Every structure is written in structure tokens, then in C-alpha cells.
Amino acid sequence: MGNILNYILGIALFLFSLRDIVANAIEKDYSQKKYPFYVRWFLSSKEKVVAKNFIRELGFSSREELVTKIKGKKSSGYSEAIELLSRCIVRAETDKTYVFGSVDSDKHTSPYYVDSQGFAQKRENCKELYEMMLHLIHRVEKEYDYIFSIKGGNIPLAASFPTYNSDILSIIPKDKNEEVDSGSYKDFVINYEGFNFLIDKAKQNENTEINGIAITCNLSNGRTFLNSIKKYNEKIEELQSNGTITRNIKKIKNVYILYRAVDGEKLDEEFNAADLICYRYFDLSEDSKACLYAIKKGEKTIDDFPCYKCIKWDLNPQNCKVKHCYKSLI
């Protein structure tokens, strides 16, 4: 179906381009009767309106958007992510600060807070976050069978995946104080909500790998999320080694977040040590948070965002002194 649409769009674009070529080659008064009716109709200013209406009916706002579709160009997603997060950011009053990080040695304070979890409580906002996350995921992989998230994460965002795609399963571990521990295999099924459906899917498709990804809205240092994924992966390996579950359920290797609330190298080092890669749009330094807030207030534009110029012009991110994750997606 997609190929047929592209052929239709290609023919339409060809006709519109042909009109311009012919129009430039002959007199501009297309209403003169010396031209056959079909030529006057094709070249008339009225036909421009017809063409515009046709483009709109195809679902495009302009000829340029149609051209972009046909050529297969895709938005990088960065400018959209910056604009979206600028709508989420808040600034503390006077000298108050927000604290990030769960370990005292790694705690970080800032007058800025990107309230993406609060933002996601409104359905249309959550759909925007979901689409941004999907855009990021699809830069790396096209297919996956389940998503892994935690209750301390962005639950509305995690719930969007099975909501908008019924083939995607959701695995969410219970909080530590809710876990059951009877020494039975069934504990695992109870403690990882949704895992029973994953087992059924794996049994029904024994010759097919069942792959999962981990998602959450954002991380600071990421240790809580990292430990939760590691625990899950270790349990999968244990249950497969004793034959309790099928081996086609694969451990999680890729993690996706929209952004980090802090910058620094430690998160990547710790995730990589656990054989995990954490993909995201960018890490937020204090300068970039201040810029997001200024964009929100209308004092700056997206072009002022610290990471954006490097990404926009496809410069080598290895030569960029601003910390961001674009290099992870090359």
C-alpha cells in the first residue's frame, strides 16, 4: 500500500513540476484562446488552487511537505524534542532548588525541573511524548515485542505502547515492598506484571526471538532503573538455564529515554558495563535547561539550544564540546 501511495504522489509531483516548466517556457497569459482548453486549464492560476487542494486532500500541508515524503526525508526529531521539553520545564521560586539522583554522592541540584511526568497526565501531551519516544526507538530498531518500565517512571508513557500497538506487551516490576517471595517460580510472574502474557507469546512462537526494550521518560544517574533491568535480565537467564521458560525470550539490551536531567559520563559507563546502551535525545546541562526555559518564555529560539546547531548542520559530534548523545545514534 505504501508503494502505491508513493507512486501516486510521484505522478502528482511530476505533473505539478511539468506545469511549472511549461509555464515558464510560454507566454504568461494562459487565458488566451490560442491555446487549447486543456492547456489553459493545466496552466491557469485556477489550476494552482486545484493542485493545492489535491495536496491537502492527500494529507500534506504544502508541496514542500509532499516532496519531503517522496524523497523519504525524515525529521531528526531533535527540534521537536527541544520544543516539547521547553513546554515542560519549570523554574523554582527565588533561591529554591530541585534535587536529582538517589545516591548522596551523585546528587545534583538545579533551579530547573522538566516536569515531563506531570505533562504526560494529559492524554494529548502523553501522545506527543509517545511519538517522540517512538521516533527515537525507530532510529535504532524497527521491531520489538515488549517494553520494560518501572512504576517510578512515566506510567502513562509506558502504557501508550500497548494502547497504540496491541502487539506490544508491557512488563512492569512491582515495587520492592509489594514483591512476593515464596520461593516459587510463580513469584516471578507475580512480581513482573504482564510477564505471563510474554510467556504465552514465547510458547506460541518458539522459533521466533522475543525481544524487549526498556523505556522511561528520563533519568538522572539511572541507577534505580539500571538495577531493575539487571535484576530482570539475571532472572530471565536463571529461569532459562533451569528450563522453566523458553530460550527465545531475549534479555534487554537497549534502553530508551527522552533525556537525562543531568549531564556526565557515569551513566553510560555503568550501563555499558551491564551490556546495556542508553539512547536518548540529549543530556541536559544547566546551560541547556536555562535555554529551554528561555525558549518557553519566548526569549530564545530552538536555534539557540546548545546541542542543536551541531545536530542541525550534521557536524561531527566527536568534535563538539557540548555533551549530548547524538554520537550514540550514528
Beta bridge partners of residue 218, listed in sequence order? 259
| Domain final position from 47, 71, 95 | 71
- Same domain as 163, residue 25: no
Cβ contacts of residue 176 below 8 Å, gap of 6+?
none
121 and 156 in contact (C-beta within 8 Å)?
yes
Q: How far is CA 91 from the centre of its chain?
A: 25
Predicted local confidence at residue 7, as pLDDT: 55
CA distances from 266 to 124, 135, 136, 221, 273 (A): 34, 26, 22, 7, 11
| C-alpha to C-alpha distances, 188 to 196, 199, 239, nearest whole angstrom | 9, 11, 10
Would you tell me the crossing angle of helices 2-25 and 63-71 to the nearest 10 degrees? 130
Is 298 found in the same domain as 182? yes
Same-domain status, 110 and 256: yes
pLDDT at residue 296 in the model: 94
Beta bridge partners of 148: 171, 214
Q: Tens digit of pLDDT for each residue in 168-178?
A: 999 999 887 78
The whole-angstrom separation of Cα 254 and Cα 325 is 14
Q: Is the dihedral of CA 20, 26, 29, 31 positive or negative?
A: negative
User: What does the pLDDT read at residue 179?
Assistant: 81
Last residue of a domain, one of 29, 50, 71: 71
Q: Do 264 and 300 have their domain in common? A: yes
C-alpha cell recorded at residue 232:
530482570
pLDDT beneath 50: ranges in the chain: 1-2, 19, 21-32, 42-43, 45-47, 50, 54, 58, 66-74, 313-315, 317, 321-330
**Partners of 147 in beta bridges:** 170, 213
Our count of domains for the chain comes to 2
Nearest to 74 by CA among 135, 7, 165, 143: 135
Sheet order of strands, 212-215 included: 192-193, 169-173, 146-148, 212-215, 254-256, 277-279
pTM: 0.71
Domain that holds residue 132: 78-329
Give pLDDT, residue 248.
93
Please report the pLDDT score of residue 325 as a whole number.
46
pLDDT of 33-66, one tens digit each?
555 555 555 445 444 554 555 455 545 555 555 4
Cell 505533473 belongs to residue: 15
Q: Give, in degrees to the nearest 5, the angle at Cα 306 between 64 and 289.
A: 110
Angle at 31 (CA atoms; ends 29, 35), nearest 5 degrees: 95
82 shares its domain with 67: no
Instruction: Give yes or no: residues 241 and 93 share one domain.
Output: yes
Q: Let me know whether 9 and 130 are in one domain.
A: no
Distance CA 9, CA 24 (A): 23
Cα angle value 249/255/256 (rounded, 5°) = 130
DSSP strands (E only) in the chain: 89-91, 98-100, 108-110, 112-114, 146-148, 169-173, 192-193, 212-215, 218-219, 254-256, 259-260, 277-279, 282-283
Q: Where are the alpha helices (DSSP H) in the chain?
A: 2-25, 37-43, 45-57, 63-71, 78-88, 116-119, 123-138, 155-164, 186-191, 195-204, 223-241, 266-273, 286-296, 308-312
Residues 173 and 141 in one domain: yes
First to last CA, the chain: 30
**Domain end marker among 54, 71, 88:** 71
Question: Cα(294)–Cα(273) distance, rounded to whole angstroms?
Answer: 37
Cα gap 171→193, rounded to integer Å: 6
247 and 114 in a common domain: yes
Strand, coil or helix: what is 110? strand
67 and 85: one domain?
Answer: no
Q: Are residues 8 and 119 in the same domain?
A: no
Q: CATH code at 104?
A: 3.40.50.2020
Q: Are residues 64 and 93 in the same domain?
A: no
At 26, is the secondary structure helix, strand, or coil? coil
